[in-house]
Amino acid sequence: MLHLSEKPHFIYTCLMLLAWVSQYVSLSAGFELNHSLTYIWPLPHELTSGNETLTVNPTLSLSLIGKGGNFKILREGFRRYKRIIFKQSSGVSIFKNLRRIRSIYDISQMRIIVNSDSDELKLGVDESYTLFITKTGGKSTAWEAIIEVNTVYGALRGLETFSQLCAYDYTTKSVQLSKAPWYIKDKPRFAYRGLLLDTSRHYFPVDVIKSIIDSMSYAKLNVLHWHIIDEQSFPLEIPKYPKLWNGAYTKWERYTVEDASKIVRFAKTRGIHVMAEVDVPGHAKSWGVGYPDLWPSTSCREPLDVTKNFTFDLISGIFSDIRKIFPFELFHLGGDEVNIGCWDNTPHVKQWLKDNNMKPKDAYKYFVLKAQEIAISKNWTPVNWEETFNAFAGSLNPQTVVHNWLGPGVCPKAVAKGFKCIFSNSDVWYLDHLDVPWEQIYNAEPLEGIDNESKQKLVQQTIWPRAAAAAERLWSTKTALSAGNDTVLHRLHYFRCLLQRRGVQAAPVTNYYARQPPVGPDSCYWQ
Partner 1 sequence: MGKMGSEMLIYVLLLMAGVLASGQSSQVKIWPMPASVSYGHTHLYLTNDFGFSSNYGSEILKDAFDRMLALIKLDHVIDANFSAFNSSSLLQGLHIVISSPNGQLQYGVDESYKLIVPSPEKPAYAHLEAKTVYGALQGLQTFSQLCYFSVTSRVLQIDMSPWTIIDQPRFSYRGLLIDTSRHYLPVPVIKKVIDSMSYAKLNVMHWHIVDTQSFPLEIPSYPKLWDGAYSPSERYTVADAADIVSYAQKRGINVLAEIDVPGHALSWGTGYPSLWPSKDCQQPLDVSNEFTFKVIDGILSDFSKIFNFKFVHLGGDEVNTSCWTTTPRIRNWLKKRGMNESQAYQYFVLRAQNIALSHGYEIINWEETFNDFGNKLSRKTVVHNWLGGGVAQRVVASGLRCIVSNQDKWYLDHLDTPWQEFYANEPLTNITNLKQQKLVIGGEVCMWGETVNGSDIEQTIWPRAAAAAERLWTPFDKLAKNPRDVTGRLAHFRCLLNQRGVAAAPVAGLGRAAPEGPGSCYRQ
Distance CA 155, CA 149 (A): 6
Query: Would you say 3 or 478 has its CB closer to partner 1?
Result: 3
Q: How far is the CB of 497 from partner 1 (least distance, A)?
A: 8
In angstroms and rounded to an integer, the radius of gyration of the C-alpha atoms of the chain is: 26
β-pairing, 143-149 vs 174-186, is unpaired
Catalytic annotation on 337? Answer: yes
Within 10 angstroms of residue 12's Cβ, the number of other Cβ atoms is: 14
Distance CA 280, CA 277 (A): 9
Q: How far is the CB of 132 from partner 1 (least distance, A)?
A: 26
Q: Are 402 and 386 in contact (CB under 8 A)?
A: yes
Identified catalytic residue from 337, 373, 448, 472 = 337
Q: Are 423 and 473 in contact (CB under 8 A)?
A: no
Q: How far is the CB of 72 from partner 1 (least distance, A)?
A: 19
Q: Closest Cα to residue 186, out of 329, 339, 317, 43?
A: 43
Query: Would you say 45 or 332 has its CB closer to partner 1?
Result: 332
Query: Would you say 249 or 366 has its CB closer to partner 1?
Result: 249
The size of the chain, in residues, is 527
Query: Would you say 429 or 475 has its CB closer to partner 1?
Result: 429
Distance CA 465, CA 515 (A): 9
Q: Are 93 and 58 in contact (CB under 8 A)?
A: no
Q: What 3-state DSSP class applies to 3?
A: coil
Query: Would you say 153 or 226 has its CB closer to partner 1?
Result: 226
Q: How far is the CB of 477 from partner 1 (least distance, A)?
A: 29
Within 10 angstroms of residue 201's Cβ, the number of other Cβ atoms is: 13
Distance CA 102, CA 512 (A): 45
Q: How far is the CB of 31 from partner 1 (least distance, A)?
A: 4
Query: Would you say 147 or 274 has its CB closer to partner 1?
Result: 274
Q: How far is the CB of 371 from partner 1 (least distance, A)?
A: 16
Distance CA 383, CA 388 (A): 10
Helical packing angle, 206-218 and 485-501, nearest 10°? 140
Helix (H) or strand (E) holding 177: strand 174-186
| Catalytic residue numbers, as ranges | 337
